[in-house]
Amino acid sequence: MGNVFSTESAGEAFLVDPPGGSSGPGVLVLHSWWGLTDDVREFCREIAADGYTVLAPDLLGGATPSSDLEAATVLAEQAPDELAGLVMSSAHTLRACSLDPNAKIAVIGFAMGGSMALWLSARLSTVVAGVVTYYGAQSIDFDEADARYLGHFGDSDEIVSEEDRVTTEAFIRLGGSDTEWHLYEGCDHFFAEPGRRFDEAAAALALGRTKTFLSGVLAPTAD
């Protein structure tokens, strides 16, 4: 279940409500450079099943690259300002669709989506209550952020280094926010995304931690 819809401000996106059709607290899901795939939609349904309204915007205009080279090319074609605007407008669209349009949301991002989720929390501090970043890093000022942070990283990641992880956490903590960082042994970048460098056990563990985190920053709708 779930709906694909399009708005002038947020573009095309996948929206799914909790079982029963009523709205819940909002969770924004930002995909990696593989695009808005069926696996991303299934992840959204998994999160929504716990009582949340989940929105995943299509950040790549319908593209679902099949190789690193193709994905890098597609991403390079995106205008940074337009991509940033799409992420911000998607957050506002999600709030309007959620149980309480005035309540804060949580953001879950994968790789580039994780980096954008971190960025969003620093730019929309009155909107974002919590961020889950899957192997996404960011070196920006978090002084204005008012969120909690959960990070999932592989210890064999060839894209996000140990220095990247440490720097990201340091910037967040310097801004006064709490972090919960987890390192997954033997895991590479994209370890939580089926069909890539997937590690089923690590992905399941990360998902469980993500759900626990969400229940701590948002109040899910009761069954």
Measured CA angle at 170 (ends 168, 171), to 5 deg: 65
As for how many domains the chain has, the answer is 1
- Residue found by looking up tokens 């899910």 in the block: 220
Q: Please indicate, yes or no, if residue 142 is contained in any of the structural domains.
A: yes
Q: Please indicate, yes or no, if residue 222 is contained in any of the structural domains.
A: no
Q: Please indicate, yes or no, if residue 56 is contained in any of the structural domains.
A: yes
The pTM for the full model equals 0.93
Q: Please indicate, yes or no, if residue 119 is contained in any of the structural domains.
A: yes
Residue-wise pLDDT tens digits, 33-83: 999 999 999 999 999 999 999 999 999 999 999 999 999 999 999 999 999
DSSP structure string for 40-93? HHHHHHHHHTTT-EEEEE-TTTT---SSHHHHHHHHHTS-HHHHHHHHHHHHHH
Q: Please indicate, yes or no, if residue 201 is contained in any of the structural domains.
A: yes
Question: 54 forms bridges with which residues in the sheet?
Answer: 16, 27
Residue-wise pLDDT tens digits, 84-138: 999 999 999 999 999 999 999 999 999 999 999 999 999 999 999 999 999 999 9
Q: Residue 74: which domain range?
A: 3-217
CB 70 within 8 Å of CB 39: no
Residues whose CB is less than 8 angstroms from the CB of residue 58 and which lie 6 or more positions away in sequence, other chains included: 11, 12, 13, 14, 35, 36
3-state secondary structure of 39: helix
CATH of the domain at 85: 3.40.50.1820
